[in-house]
Structure 1
């Protein structure tokens, strides 16, 4: 029943209400992820562990004109980005689908783009924490010292590189089951990591991999970091950003397609 004299909320009030609800949803997503240590702890610790094993022993050599320690910080920072977006993120979405949480959200006024943007905001926040922990380890334990501006530039570029992988994580979360999402993600992003020269220098890999690597999203994200730290690369940052944008749009279109198919199967 409509009350006499009641007025509709103004546009400013509606926007303010949506922002408040969106912030609450993002906060809930962040708390949920931290309360699932089986997803969050490996994401935080694996990049540090891999860097300690594969990066630190060779930090004093040169690669592409810069110290290899700095080079590997960008490489394993890229690995951290991929790990958040494709392993923990896709598994989280698959678990929500398996437990029926998505069906419950469907009964609320939440819009689809609120759902997507909230998930991306959560991934960016968690990725920022992962990168800060990783870079602090490199500085304090690995003794790889750089100017603060270089740390900020590297972090910002790697956060930009999150977008193609977070959209791919959406896709994997909707085509995989709760128990298989992490496995499927690992089967994709681990080969991508090796083929992009993140663990082993690209010049040591087979010739055909060297030819394919520049077109991989993981290589383009890593090259953003390498270039920002002063490495002598053959391509500009704008080329890398172009490939990252193309992959982001393609993976986002795939994610929206499988999301709509999933909603159609459940709700008609």
Structure 2
């Protein structure tokens, strides 16, 4: 347990020193949130509901990006620098190493959620019940697991540049087609049909349901859980293949 805790602390410190993380996970989502709720006229029939809805969109957008990009690229960097090879000759097991990375990333997600939620409440006056604040934050934290699994897959790549390019494209495609930038209902029918099968839509939809006074639908839970299991199994299989080589 002490080894696990120390590894988690190290991952958290490294993340907070990463300017790349600060920009993609905090600065950009907050900037988008301010622009689309205060600068751009969205003609929303209920501005208060729209500000709460888009606050959830940008928070899920932030956490999803942190999971895919920060975790994945960091893992590739560690491999290219020989760090992952060095880990194998230490008492730290491979499983503890990967779980600690995901756990450390989750702690960082709590920071991101808190900062963005605070911005929405202070700047836009978003008013939710304590239960809705807590449940939406908890949903976003737990719902990030499939994207952490995607991050571990990105981490299997051999070059940092390749990992950065793939993770950027994947991040943006999932955000747009999942309805995080604009509601899925205003998109072409074909994009809607695709979006309903993506984890990003179900991730965002769970939070959108909570701020409307509801609870995430069972299909939101099922789809995210299914993606998490499949992606983690695939990550484990690919890691074993790489170790065998």
Pairwise same-fold verdict (TM > 0.5): yes
Whether the aligned pair in 2 keeps the contact of 1:59 and 1:70 (CA below 8 Å) is: no
CA contact (8 A) 1:85 1:169 kept: yes
Shift of 1:240: 0.5
Alignment partner of 1:90 out of 41, 48, 72 = 72
Q: Determine whether 1:203 maps to 2:185.
A: yes
What CA distance in whole angstroms lies between the structure 1 residues aligned with 2:43 and 2:237?
Answer: 47
Counterparts of 1:66 and 1:138, CA distance in 2: 11
Deviations along 1:85-131, one digit per CA (max 9) or x if unpaired, are 01111111111111110011011122222112101111110111011
Q: Which runs of 4+ in 1 moved over 3 A?
A: 55-60
Aligned match for 2:112, one of 127, 130, 135 = 130
Tell me which residue corresponds to 2:242.
262
- 1:239 positional shift: 1.3
**Aligned partners of 1:59 and 1:68 also within 8 Å:** no
CA 1:74–1:187 in structure 2 vs 1: closer, same or farther (change >3 Å)? same
> Is 1:61–2:41 an aligned residue pair?
no
1:159-178 matches, cutoff 5 A: 159-178=141-160
User: After the TM superposition, which residues 30-69 of structure 1 pair with which residues of structure 2 at under 5 Å, given as runs?
Assistant: 30-57=12-39, 61-62=44-45, 67-69=49-51
Point out the structure with max Rg over C-alpha: 1
Q: Per-residue deviation at 1:44?
A: 2.1
Contact 1:90 1:169 in 2 (8 A): yes
Residue 179 of structure 1 deviates from its aligned partner by 2.1
CA distance, structure 1, for counterparts of residue 144 and residue 25 of structure 2 = 14
Match of 2:171 in 1: 189
Q: Is the alpha carbon distance of 1:118 and 1:127 closer, same or farther for their aligned partners in structure 2, counting shifts above 3 Å?
A: same
| Structure 2 residue ranges without an equivalent (≥5) | none
Q: Does 1:250 align with 2:200?
A: no
Over 3 Å counting, the alpha-carbon distance change for 1:85 and 1:176 in structure 2 is farther
1: CA distance between counterparts of 2:228 and 2:48? 29
Offset from partner CA, 1:127-179 (integer Å, 9 cap, x none): 11011111111111122122222111110000111100000100011125212
Tell me, in whole angstroms, the C-alpha distance in 2 between the residues paired with 1:117 and 1:62. Answer: 44
| Paired residues for 1:71-82 under 5 Å | 71-82=53-64
Superposed displacement of residue 35, structure 1 = 2.4
Normalised to the residue count of structure 2, the TM-score between the two structures is 0.92
Distance of 2:42 and 2:143 partners within structure 1:
24
Question: 2: distance between equivalents of 1:176 and 1:204?
Answer: 39
How far apart, CA to CA, are the structure 2 residues paired with 1:178 and 1:105?
19
Shift of 1:77: 1.4
Instruction: Give the unaligned 5+ runs of structure 1.
Output: 1-18
Deviations 1:165-207 (A, max 9, x none): 0001000111252122222111112111111111122122111
Determine the structure 2 residue equivalent to 1:148: 130
Corresponding residue number in structure 2 for 1:121: 103
RMSD: 2.1
